[in-house]
Structures are given as structure tokens and as C-alpha cells.
Amino acid sequence: MQKYLERISRIDQLMRLKKTGSAEQLASKLGISRSTLFETLNLMKDYGAEIAYCPHRQTYYYTQDGYFEIGFKPKNKLSKDDMEKISGGNCLFTTSSKFFSPSPILSDCCALCLLL
């Protein structure tokens, strides 16, 4: 599986640089056969990439701006917008309750406010 992901990542990089060369050249760069190259390009198309070939420039390219992103992203990581929505990452406590009394350390360090 890793070799397939690395292959897609390398093709993606070369396509964004518009430096793939012909099918034969690209297959040679990747150390694969032409048929394996075309299988990989078709897989990339199945995942939504619009791929074309320019015979004048001798390169494959995306017809729409974009790129493949392969990797793990934690699900609970806050986005920049979410951080801004919670006052830049600081909690603001305006009142205390009988269940919770804000501490100066907590109010300076927390990233999320739980509203009771």
C-alpha cells in the first residue's frame, strides 16, 4: 500500500510542476510499466483528479487547480476559525457558579470554554 501512495504522491508532484514527460518517461522515472502508470492515472481520476496530457509540453497536468493530500489528520484538531471563535484560544470568564470557580491558570491556558 505504501508504494502506491508514494507513487501517487510523486506523480502529483511532477504533474503540479508540469515535468512528467511522456508516458514512457514518467513510467521510467517511477520504475513502473506504462500499463501500471495508466492504471495509477485512472485511479487518480477515480478520486476526482482531472488529468490531461499536453503533447507540446510533453507533460501530464491537472485541468483544474488542486493536489492530492495523503496523510493522517487528527479529527479533534481545532481549525483557525474555531480558535478565533473562542477568543483567540483564551477563555473569558465573566461569572462564577457554585459548580465551577475559574482559576487564573485555567483561564490563561485553556483552549475551549465549557459553558454551564
Round to whole Å and give the CA distance between 116 and 100: 9
Contact call for residues 45 and 32 (beta carbons, < 8 A): no
Residue 33 binned pLDDT confidence (cut-offs 50, 70, 90):
very high
Instruction: Check residue 111 and report its DSSP letter.
Output: S
Contact call for residues 37 and 23 (beta carbons, < 8 A): yes
Sorted by where each starts, the structural domains of the chain and their CATH numbers stand as 2-62 (1.10.10.10), 80-109 (no CATH)
Cβ atoms < 10 Å from Cβ of 112 = 11
Closest residue by Cα to residue 35 from 23, 47, 51: 23
Question: For 52-105, what is each residue's pLDDT tens digit?
Answer: 999 999 999 999 998 888 777 666 666 777 767 776 555 554 444 444 444 444
Contact call for residues 102 and 116 (beta carbons, < 8 A): no
Residue 111 binned pLDDT confidence (cut-offs 50, 70, 90):
very low
What SS3 class is residue 89? Answer: helix
Averaged pLDDT for residues 24-43 = 97
Contact call for residues 67 and 95 (beta carbons, < 8 A): no
